[in-house]
Amino acid sequence: MFGVWTSCISWIGLGFGCWSLRFLNSRGLLSIFAMENQMKTVRDAPDVLDVNSSGIVGGGGMGDTYCEDAASDNQPFTPWTRSVASGVDLLRDPRFNKGTAFTDKERESHYLRGLLPPVVVDQELQINRILENVRAYETDLEKYVEVMDLQERNERLFYKVLIDHVEELLPIVYTPTVGEACQKFGNIFRRPHGLYISLKDKGHVLDCLRNWPEPNVQVIVVTDGERILGLGDLGSQGMGIPIGKLALYVALGGIRPSATLPVTIDVGTNNQSLLDNPFYIGLRHKRATGEEYDDLLHEFMVACKQAYGEKVLVQFEDFANHNAFRLLAKYSTSHLVFNDDIQGTAAVALAGLLAALPITGGTLADHKLLFVGAGEAGTGIAELVAMEISRQGKISVEEARKKIFLVDSQGLVTKSRFDSLQPFKKPFALDIAPISKLASVIKELKPTVMIGTTGKGGQFTQEVLEEFSSYQDKPVVFALSNPTSQSECTAEEAFKHTKGKCIFASGSPFKPVTYEGKTYTIGQSNNAYIFPGMGLGTTISGAIRVHDDMFLAAAESLAKEIGEDHLAKRQLFPSFTEIRDISAHIGAAVAEKAYELGLATKLPKPKDLLGYAKSCMYSPVYRQFR
């Protein structure tokens, strides 16, 4: 369908000049021309831009895209064409707009004369201007709005500034600010920036996907908004999360922006304050459940493959756990799908634990791990850790699970509660008397690692941290709940209440902590280290399924990035400034695993997977228009 669309455009464009392109957005019109133009086959490599004077992009090259067509041919010059609007439409198209960075020549050839102020600046100066504006805002939410506006105006500038200033801007486009943005999404709403698929679209989900302007989608992040970070049910306003995650796929993992699709499935919300809010953007009723919910989700999953093929990666994000586990189980055998909160989080936390071993000494199997919070993140990590212990120690996963204890909102997960336990908790149920208080659980079981995934701030109290550090020298404390307000403790509290002994990581960013004259850098144990590389790896290998071993490979690859200089600062995760290179390594490791498991379809396998991964990564540097 879209191949025909592209060829039609090129034929029309060449025949009638740039002005004619402006009339070509009606599907009916296009299909008529497509009938006349079946003979022309023109490849589409949307991010490699080269525009001729009639407003048609033409030329070829691999460049920074791994649009499957371009990548699979593996030729330096693959013929293709791409239509780009001229004049004011070009300025209004964020994908191609360069604003005042358009050169005089480009302004002349693309009908921009008079539409811009006379100054011509480079991307660097534009970045400085953006940063100055962003920094001038007092609140992070204002900064978020400014930065997301830029994404809507000038995509390459948005990604360049994000990549070059990732440490400063990640907390704005991602946790913690994205949480507040979701809470107030209706108030700050400007443009949709993703697909909203609601119960009103039942029977027409494929039409929704077909209305999306980009034909070559490779990564979809979808939420139903029921568990947004630790902020609960935010309904349609959860859309901020897929948008933010996909911005990171591009900035950190080098996926082409045009290959990303944020989706929110709206089945209602149980958040009464949103239902009462006149600015709420979603369906104004309680959540649909059961068959009605499942049918819409199923229609969506089927439509994804119909629209984008077998190899489109679907990332489930921030679903409540009663849906998350069963959706993953239901679709993991038929789709290229993973759940970021269960599997991505597991890989990043495992990487942190592996990285901590040189400090704690011993192997993973020598540890006793306590998970405070036994939902998606908690049991996801627990299962992957058990897999790793089993693999390293050549013991069964059942045996490995014995080193793991869970605590949920009712206290320790024990066999006495077995019948009422959710299925994902059952494998870890202990055969001991129930204990409800966290400090008492610690006293009884003496874990060496404590991982918080409760979504409830402040669970690691002074009493809990003091108890946990009372019998060991190197207590490992991960407070993974997001955003910052929901963190089980702050970095400062962790160091203070363990008397500087802890090895600490958090889900949201914390500033370095100085305790008794020594400064510690706080590593961020966030799945943002994993999913961009996972997307890169599955895409470059043409993987058709995601397998747990790919997450183990990703975790091991990430753990290798931690060296002695990091450990000297007790930093278990590298700085995000290094993340693009790290994502390439993770991508190569994931792709390698996909080939090993027979799940890769891109053949022959590239000889140098790392080099190939790097060569495929999107670069936001401006293109020259000819």
H or E, element range at 557: helix 548-559
Binding of residue 378 to ligand NDP (CB under 6 A): yes
Q: Of 37, 453, 469, 484, which one interacts with ligand NDP (CB under 6 A)?
A: 453
Closest distance to ligand NDP from the beta carbon of 341 (Å): 4
Nearer to Mg ion, 229 or 336 (CB): 229
User: Of 128-136, 143-151, 525-533, 548-556, which segment contacts ligand NDP by CB under 6 A?
Assistant: 525-533
Provide the H-helix boundaries in 227-360: 240-253, 272-275, 290-308, 321-331, 345-360
Closest distance to ligand NDP from the beta carbon of 455 (Å): 3
Nearer to ligand NDP, 49 or 438 (CB): 438
CA atoms in the 13 A half-sphere facing the CB of 526: 27
Nearer to ligand CC(=O)C(=O)O, 94 or 262 (CB): 262
Q: Is 317 annotated as a binding residue?
A: yes
Binding of residue 374 to ligand NDP (CB under 6 A): yes
Binding of residue 459 to ligand NDP (CB under 6 A): yes
Please, which of residues 471-500 interact with ligand NDP by CB under 6 A?
480-482, 486
Q: Contact, 454 vs 430, CB < 8 A?
A: no
The DSSP letter of residue 237 is G
Provide the H-helix boundaries in 230-289: 240-253, 272-275
**CA-to-CA distance for 577 and 561, rounded, in angstroms?**
13
**CA-to-CA distance for 123 and 626, rounded, in angstroms?**
18
Binding of residue 436 to ligand NDP (CB under 6 A): no
Among 325, 381, 389, 304, which residue's Cα sits nearest to residue 349? Answer: 381
Q: Is 69 annotated as a binding residue?
A: no
Closest distance to ligand NDP from the beta carbon of 215 (Å): 31
Q: Contact, 237 vs 224, CB < 8 A?
A: no
Q: Is 318 annotated as a binding residue?
A: yes
Q: Contact, 526 vs 241, CB < 8 A?
A: no
**CA-to-CA distance for 582 and 217, rounded, in angstroms?**
24
Query: Which residue's CB comes closest to ligand CC(=O)C(=O)O?
Result: 482
Whether the link from the prior residue into 278 is cis, omega within 30° of 0, is no
**CA-to-CA distance for 30 and 491, rounded, in angstroms?**
58
Closest distance to ligand NDP from the beta carbon of 245 (Å): 11
Q: Of 45, 48, 261, 407, which one interacts with ligand NDP (CB under 6 A)?
A: 407
Quote the Cα angle for 622-588-379, to 5°. 110
Residue with tokens 């009605």: 292
Q: Which residues in this chain contact ligand CC(=O)C(=O)O in the complex, by CB under 6 A?
A: 175, 229, 318, 340-341, 482, 507, 526-527
Nearer to ligand CC(=O)C(=O)O, 161 or 479 (CB): 479
| Binder of residue 592, out of Mg ion, ligand CC(=O)C(=O)O, ligand NDP, none (CB less than 5 to 8 A by kind) | none
Q: Contact, 329 vs 232, CB < 8 A?
A: no
Closest distance to ligand NDP from the beta carbon of 50 (Å): 40
- Go through the chain and tell me how many residues it has: 626
Residues with catalytic function:
174, 245
Binding of residue 409 to ligand NDP (CB under 6 A): yes
Phi, psi of 456 (to 5 degrees): -125, 115
Residues found near ligand NDP in the complex (CB under 6 A): 227, 229-230, 321, 341, 345, 348, 372-378, 407-410, 453-456, 459, 480-482, 486, 507, 525-527
User: What are the binding residues?
Assistant: 227, 317-318, 341, 482, 526
User: What are the binding residues for (S)-malate?
Assistant: 227, 482, 526
